[in-house]
């Protein structure tokens, strides 16, 4: 559970001094088909708020190579007041969307709409957190450029080194293709044809994310060595 498991990298015991703009920490996932990210959630770790990301981004790519990542959402916090992550309480789940409540039904799948409505519990999404991408990607990653902990290998207490940690990451998308039966030309029994669907574009607005869950409300599972990456229907 996110309450007691996290993705953690210690700056002294493997972090090589901490992440930087040129060499961020990241966790990437490659998908079979291209998708457009519609929303995502991030859950803080259950302890050590100094390990929260300070500057970070959700990025997309079609190759996964260095230098070929484009920001979908970027947080450049100067302090706690400008960061979505709070010192207390811990293990909070925050929702970032490319839509508002008014256009949510048109922006996500029916399955995701049902789940999202249940998790919001009546909360209204008044503004989008990021612009819905116009380009579909089959690679996605979270990149950490700095943390609230200092980027240093010299620490006073070697048993508690500065580092980076997150509890959970969830990615949700709209596919750029849909499946339909039949096509022009020869027909094959049981065959399906994939057709491209144009991406919907919204105006970018950077706002505070919606708080979905406190520690007592969190019910999703996590992993010890990295944040859980789920994708309905991304994977």
Structural domains in the chain? 7-231 (2.60.120)
Q: HSE (CB half, 13 Å, CA atoms) of 20?
A: 6
The Cβ of residue 104 has, within 10 Å, a number of other Cβ atoms equal to: 18
Q: Per residue in 74-109, pLDDT tens?
A: 999 999 999 999 999 999 999 999 999 999 999 998
Give the pLDDT score at 147: 94
Give the pLDDT score at 185: 32
Give the pLDDT score at 159: 74
- SS3 labels along 50-65: HHCEEEEEEEEECCCC
Residue indicated by tokens 């008044």: 126
H/E element, 38: strand 25-43
The stretch 46-72 carries a mean pLDDT of: 95
Which of 109, 118, 132, 144 has the alpha carbon at shortest distance from 231? 109
CA distance linking residue 60 with residue 35, whole number of Å: 10
Give the pLDDT score at 208: 54
pTM above 0.75, yes or no: yes
| DSSP β-bridge partners for residue 74 | 57
Q: Per residue in 176-215, pLDDT tens?
A: 654 333 223 333 333 333 333 333 333 333 345 666 654 4
- SS3 labels along 91-147: CCEEEEECCCCCCHHHHCCHHHHHHHHHHHCCCCCCCCCCCCCCCCEEEEEEEEEEE
Q: Per residue in 38-53, pLDDT tens?
A: 999 999 999 999 999 9
The overall average pLDDT reported for the chain is 77
CA distance linking residue 21 with residue 24, whole number of Å: 6
Q: Per residue in 123-135, pLDDT tens?
A: 999 999 999 999 9
Residue indicated by tokens 């979270």: 142
The stretch 145-172 carries a mean pLDDT of: 85
Provide the 8-state DSSP code for 80. Answer: G
- Pairing verdict, β 25-43 and 137-147: antiparallel
CA distance linking residue 229 with residue 215, whole number of Å: 19
Which of 52, 37, 41, 76 has the alpha carbon at shortest distance from 210? 41
Q: Per residue in 222-235, pLDDT tens?
A: 223 334 444 333 43
CA distance linking residue 212 with residue 41, whole number of Å: 9
Evaluate if residue 120 carries a pLDDT over 60: yes
Evaluate if residue 158 carries a pLDDT over 80: no
């Amino acid at each position: 559970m996110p309450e007691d498991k996290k993705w953690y990298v210690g700056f002294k015991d493997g972090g090589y001094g901490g992440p930087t703009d040129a060499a961020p920490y990241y966790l990437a996932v490659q998908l079979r088909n291209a998708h457009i990210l519609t929303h995502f959630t991030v859950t803080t770790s259950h302890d050590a708020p100094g390990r929260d990301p300070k500057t970070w981004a959700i990025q997309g790519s079609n190759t996964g190579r260095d230098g070929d990542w484009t920001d979908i959402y970027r947080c450049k916090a100067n302090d706690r007041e400008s960061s979505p992550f709070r010192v207390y309480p811990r293990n909070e789940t925050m929702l970032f969307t490319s839509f508002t409540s008014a256009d949510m039904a048109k922006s996500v799948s029916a399955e995701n709409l049902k789940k999202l409505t249940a998790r919001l519990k009546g909360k209204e999404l008044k503004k989008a957190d990021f612009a819905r991408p116009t380009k579909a990607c089959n690679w996605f990653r979270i990149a950490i450029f700095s943390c609230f902990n200092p980027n240093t290998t010299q620490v006073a207490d070697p048993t508690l080194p500065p580092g980076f940690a997150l509890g959970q990451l969830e990615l949700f998308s709209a596919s750029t293709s849909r499946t339909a039966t039949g096509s022009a030309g020869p027909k094959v029994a049981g065959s399906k044809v994939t057709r491209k669907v144009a991406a919907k574009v919204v105006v970018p607005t950077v706002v505070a994310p919606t708080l979905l869950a406190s520690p007592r409300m969190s019910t999703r599972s996590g992993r010890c060595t990295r944040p859980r990456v789920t994708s309905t229907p991304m994977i």
